[in-house]
Amino acid sequence: MGWANITFEIQDQVAYIGFGKNEEKSVTVLNKETLEELNAVIDELTNNENHRDLSGVIFFSHKKDCFLVGVDINLISNLKSAEEASTGAALGQEIYNKIEDLNINTLALVDGVCMGGGLELALSCRYILASDSNKTVFALPEVQLGLIPAFGGTYRLPLKISITDSLDMILTGKQVRASKALKIGLINEIYAKARLMNMGKNFIKNPSHYLRNKKKNFKSSISSIVQDNFLVRKIIFQKAREKVIKKTVGLFDAPIKILEVIEEGYGKGRASYLNLEAKAFGELWSSNQSKNLRDLFFSIEKTKKFPGIGNMNFEITNPTKIKSSAVLGAGTMGGGIAYLLADSNLNPILKDINIEALELGLKKSSQILYSNFKKKRMTKDEWERKQRSITPVLKYLGFNRSEIVVEAIVENIEIKKAVFRELEEIVPSNTILASNTSSLSISEMCSDLKNPERFVGFHFFNPVHKMPLVEIIIHDKISNLVLEKVYNLALAFKKFPIIVKDSPGFLVNRLLGPYITEMTYLLEEGVGIHDIDRACLDFGLPMGPCRLLDEVGIDVGFKVSDIFYKAFGERFRKSALADKILALNVLGCKSGKGLYVYDDDSASESDSDRDDTSSSNERKSSNKRDDDSSSTVENIINPDIKAILPSKKITLEPRTIQMRLILPMINEAARVLEEQVVSDAATVDFGMIMGTGFPPYRGGPLKHADSEGLDKILNAMAEFTKNVSNIRYQPATLLQKLAAEGKNFYN
């Protein structure tokens, strides 16, 4: 029998089952057809009398650097109901049970990515061997889609490794490299990539001869004895639950459900346990959280190919890759961009007007590269070579050979225009000129250029190496070729690019503008700093607006507010308190004092000249908060700020604070759509999730609005219009129109 998606052959009494036969796909997935073929092959091995003398079965992949990435997300999303989802999980479990029940040795040879259903398949085998490739990783990432591993992963992993290591993998979806996998007992051996198949052939016939590290087996035995103690196990699950609730504020359903299944099912027979797992999969599949997270996955996949822009009918030209580069303006931001270019082997030139700035930029790039080396993401030779590839200059030496120049200088339109006029006389006519501005008009910036078609906005977020989003800002005269080249360059950086039309603040910063502005009005009314920030953390945001303003820089944040006020009018007017805060001349993290007080180690990496109102959702807060001690909390607020806050305090419900801050963001998002700054609601939501850390399981501000109901959103805004401000909460025309027609942002 022939197979379309897998290979099946028998050599020297060993059956070989290979995945990834279809070379058109970039990764190996378990789609419906592959699962059906796998099931048929296992039945063939089980029922065919001709296979009784087999000594073993080896599972492997034909695809380079990929064993199996898991079940096709399209297959999961196309399910029709919770019942169908549970049934589908049970069918997958049945196939893997058949593998586990084979009465011969079974071996998974893992070279590259082994995730989700791929790892669950490997766990159903008796042995797992892995290559020493740095691309070999193991993970159960279903929790990141709001789901539970449902092909037996939560059942088999705790039988293979300790409960604590299992929970760490399953509840976070974290990736484990081969060396760590060997250490925790997930795999049996590691071999050189080139020798993996040959070693597998020998191993399958006599596993005991090749197994080593007896101490590891002894350690596993001790761990099993300890975790089988009811009281110890109870403590482990309690600590895990506390950790999950602290990290997710109890808002994320999947990890709690996973914990319930593992705890309830622990010690039960396979059939009973897997029934719990399949049922939980159906329940989570049907939740809005999982749907939102799956939609986010598809949005990520969508960004991986240049889309053109709206109805401008761009032709996909498949341009040549950029091979040389330069950065104009060092400092923290320029150094971060230089790192991206160097890491992509583009040998960047880094220019500034003084040695001090160049040293800062080189220090920044060096820190990031060294960190990657320490985390084993690159070798020492790669680290040193990439750092040496950055050439610091005080003049325009070498710029005539650069295919792209990224500007990251002071955020001043006249200075930028002068610099680009000067630069245009130095670089070749086909060199792309890109500005990293976060708020200034791209159209105005290139208005004096002879060749404006090669000019583009290329807006990174700070810190550059961590923040995944890039806004590519277009204007009426931009060349399709330039746009496509820059888009592909962002992908080469492993960033997620979105295309945004020229407008003050573009997308992300514009939507953060009213969020920050409304925070100052809440403070002015007497709401506490920590009440505001805690309400936002409870909503699921990575940090509250008070802390965010400190991260951005108070001077920068309010400067952007002035730009918005000039562009959009009264709804962006700063509060009187904002002017008082500015007068104190406290800058935030970068100066050690803002709304909060910071120690020297917590100084922000923000550039004082940057106008970025977005900040890293990965940066750790230095506020050593004790939520059970109000005196401790009060001590970290800047006394100078406390002195200008209203003496009369008011208490608002967290829900009210959340609505006061999130509704203006939703309203501004509707205006962005009205103005066609971006193409659709999905782009708005994707930008806010990737650029600000808006809770992914809420789907973004517009999908959150749809979930709440646009009528409810408008009713809440009407109340705030009467009781708070009839300007800042005046609903956008599109929002009113959609609600009146019974529609939402996504239909």
Q: Cα separation of 710 and 731, whole Å?
A: 11
How far apart are alpha carbons 127 and 121 in whole angstroms? 11
Strand, helix or coil for residue 66? strand
| Cα–Cα distance list, 55 to 13, 106, 124, 128, 552 (Å) | 6, 9, 17, 16, 63
Is 704 noted as a catalytic residue in this protein?
no
On the 0-12 / 13-18 / 19+ scale of CB atoms within 10 A, 428 is exposed
57: left (phi over 0), alpha (psi -120 to 50) or beta: beta
Please give the Cα distance from 114 to 101 (Å, whole number): 22
In terms of phi and psi (left: phi > 0; alpha: psi -120 to 50; beta: otherwise), the region of 525 is: alpha
Is 477 within 8 Å of 486 (Cβ atoms)? no
Instruction: Please list, residue by residue across 216-229, b when 16 or more beta carbons sit within 10 angstroms of its beta carbon and e when fewer do.
Output: eeeeeeebeeebee
Backbone phi, psi, residue 501, to 5°: -75, 155
Spatial neighbors of 291 by CB under 8 A, at least 6 apart, are 146, 699
Q: What burial class does residue 242 get, using C-beta atoms within 10 Å of its C-beta: 0-12 exposed, 13-18 middle, 19+ buried? A: exposed
For 543: left if phi > 0, alpha if psi spans -120 to 50, otherwise beta; the answer is beta
DSSP state of 345: T
Sheet strands side by side (includes 189-191)? 6-11, 14-19, 56-61, 105-110, 127-131, 189-191
Q: Which residue has the tokens 């196990």?
A: 233
Catalytic residue among 51, 459, 475, 704: 459
Give the amino acid at 693.
G
| Bridge partner residues of 496 (DSSP) | 469
CA distance 699 to 682: 9
CA gap 274, 258 in Å, rounded: 12
Residue pair 473/436 in contact by the 8 Å Cβ criterion: no
- CA dist 405 and 413 (Å) reads 17
What distances in angstroms separate CA 160 from CA 123, 128, 168, one per listed residue?
8, 11, 14
Q: Which helix (H) or strand (E) holds 432?
A: strand 432-435
As a whole number of angstroms, the distance between CA 480 and CA 52 comes to: 62
Which tokens sit at 648?
């009369």
* Reduced DSSP (H G I as helix, E B as strand, rest coil) percent helix, strand, coil of the chain, to 5: 55, 10, 35
Q: Would you list the DSSP string of 6-48?
A: EEEEEETTEEEEEE---TTSSS--B-HHHHHHHHHHHHHHHH-
Active site residues: 459
